[in-house]
Amino acid sequence: MESQELPYVLVDCIGGRLGVYEDHLGFLKKRFHLITMKEYLENKTLLSKKIRAIYVWYHKPAINEELLQSLPNLKVVASAGVGIDHLDLKLLSSYGVKVSNTPFVVSTDTADMGMALMLASSRRLVEGHEMAVSPDTEYFPVDWLGVEVSGATLGIVGMGKIGYKVAERAKAFEMKILYHNRNQRKKEEESAVGAIYCKKIDDLLQQSDFVLLAATLTPQTHKMIGKRELELMKPTATLINISRGLIVDQDALVEALQNKVIKAAALDVTYPEPLPRDHPLLKLKNVIITPHIGSATKKTRWVMMEEMAESIEAGLAGLPIPREVLP
């Protein structure tokens, strides 16, 4: 594009621990003129009319009404990952801005993370590692046991792309699979993974050894797992969350774990992230927390970036946007 300028795309920052990856820049800069938030704020008058898209890399930059008002030519917001609960879709739509996400590429890594957390929790892997490397360890005690994943019952709450991939993996461990979803899946899909539909979430909660949350965060799923749901779970059950922290009533979870209402929890997501450093969840022995790394692999992040670039280009060209999210 020699005669025309490359389209101006707003990003939060480049490099460092939170910014757009340095090794993604080559690809992006061939297609876009990237403007960081800092550059934009220093030169609003010139840049505000030029910016036509925002590249939201891990929930940044935050998009509020003020920002939308000052970007009259904004057409597309491309968001990394599948969750879009950090975006006000109605608001964006009211400004005529289209939104895209990257739902497919994250599904296998996130499903893998769900399996990793389930296995690590059940076999007490983090605790075990600590023991194996601790300067105080003199011998390995023989009465130190975990519980089996193979043959146990897994209840998947939210059987979308990610939930289904979890089911595919769990099947190979000969797990009995129950699922609860807004809609029942097709019979062939159910048979392929041996999943049994639980119209009432209560049935799933009462029978599962592992309850895995893979639902989208919406007003309906907000605090979906609260005191009542935790009490319906077996006292030997483990809660695994790879969706969003807000799907769980965290205070109720703390209480349930402290009172051994459930056995353990393994969370890739919390609210907020990170948790305050004095939060009780950080101190419980039966909790594993990972820093929201469900899609944190090099390959996946590269594909996400490519997909976001593609969505922006399509949107700016007035073409149908791949992976558009409608309000």
Partner 1 sequence: MFRSKASSLSTVIPLMFGQSNLACKFFHPVIASHGLCCHRSVIYKQRYRMHQLSAGRRTINTGTKVMAEGELPSVLILDIGGTHGVLEDLAALLKKHFHLITMKEFLGNKEEMRKKIQSIFVFECRPTIDRELLESLPNLKVIANSGVGVDHLDLKMISSFGVKVTNTPHAVADPTADIGMALMLASARRLVEGCHIALSPDTKYFAVDWLGVEVTRATLGIIGMGSIGYKVAQRARAFNMRILYHNRNRRRKEDEEAVGAHYCAKMEDLLQQSDFVMLVVNLTPETHKLIGKKELGLMKPTATLINISRGAVIDQDALVEALQNKVIRAAALDVTYPEPLPRDHPLLNLSNVIITPHIGTATVQAIRMMAEEAIANMLAALNDQPIPSEVFPK
Q: Which residues are catalytic?
A: 244, 273, 292
- Min dist CB 52 to partner 1, Å, is 24
Q: DSSP letter string over 81-140?
A: SS--TTS-HHHHHHTT-EEE--TTHHHHHHHHHHHHHHHHHHTTHHHHHHHHH-TT--S-
Residue 310 CA: distances (Å) to CA of 76, 92, 102, 323? 11, 20, 11, 10
Which SS3 state, helix, strand or coil, does residue 248 take?
A: strand
Nearer to partner 1, 48 or 102 (CB): 102
Encoded one letter per residue, x for contact with partner 1 by CB under 8 A and - for no contact, window 19-38 reads: x-x-----------------
- Min dist CB 295 to partner 1, Å, is 10
Nearest to 289 by CA among 257, 312, 323: 257
Copy the structure tokens of residue 42.
């220093």
* Binding to partner 1, residues 287-326 (CB under 8 A): 288-293, 296-301
Nearer to partner 1, 19 or 160 (CB): 19
Nearer to partner 1, 97 or 239 (CB): 239
* Binding to partner 1, residues 236-275 (CB under 8 A): 236, 273-275
- Residue 169 contacts partner 1 per CB under 8 A: yes
Encoded one letter per residue, x for contact with partner 1 by CB under 8 A and - for no contact, window 191-230 reads: ------------------x---------------------
Among 69, 137, 218, 258, binds partner 1 (CB under 8 A): 137
> Rounded to whole angstroms, how far apart are CA atoms 184 and 197?
7
Stretch that binds partner 1, among 2-10, 47-55, 88-96, 125-133 (CB under 8 A): 125-133
Which SS3 state, helix, strand or coil, does residue 169 take?
A: helix
CB atoms < 10 A from the CB of 16, how many? 8
Q: Is 154 exposed, middle or buried (0-12, 13-18, 19+ CB in 10 A)?
A: buried
Stretch that binds partner 1, among 30-38, 68-76, 165-173, 238-246 (CB under 8 A): 165-173
Q: DSSP letter string over 15-33?
A: STTTSB-GGGHHHHHHH-E
Among 89, 128, 203, 223, binds partner 1 (CB under 8 A): 128
Nearer to partner 1, 91 or 196 (CB): 196
Among 77, 97, 109, 253, binds partner 1 (CB under 8 A): 109
Q: What are the residues whose beta carbons fall under 8 Å from the beta carbon of 312, sequence distance 6 or more?
A: 7, 9, 31, 32, 53, 55, 76, 78, 100
| Cα 114–chain centre separation | 11
The size of the interface with partner 1 (CB under 8 A), counted in residues, is 71
- Min dist CB 41 to partner 1, Å, is 21
* Binding to partner 1, residues 59-98 (CB under 8 A): none
145: left (phi over 0), alpha (psi -120 to 50) or beta: beta
Q: Answer yes or no: are the C-beta atoms of 178 and 156 closer than 8 Å.
A: yes
Nearer to partner 1, 19 or 158 (CB): 19
Among 43, 62, 104, 144, binds partner 1 (CB under 8 A): 144
Find the angle CA(89)-CA(94)-CA(95) to the nearest 5 degrees. 100
Nearer to partner 1, 55 or 75 (CB): 55
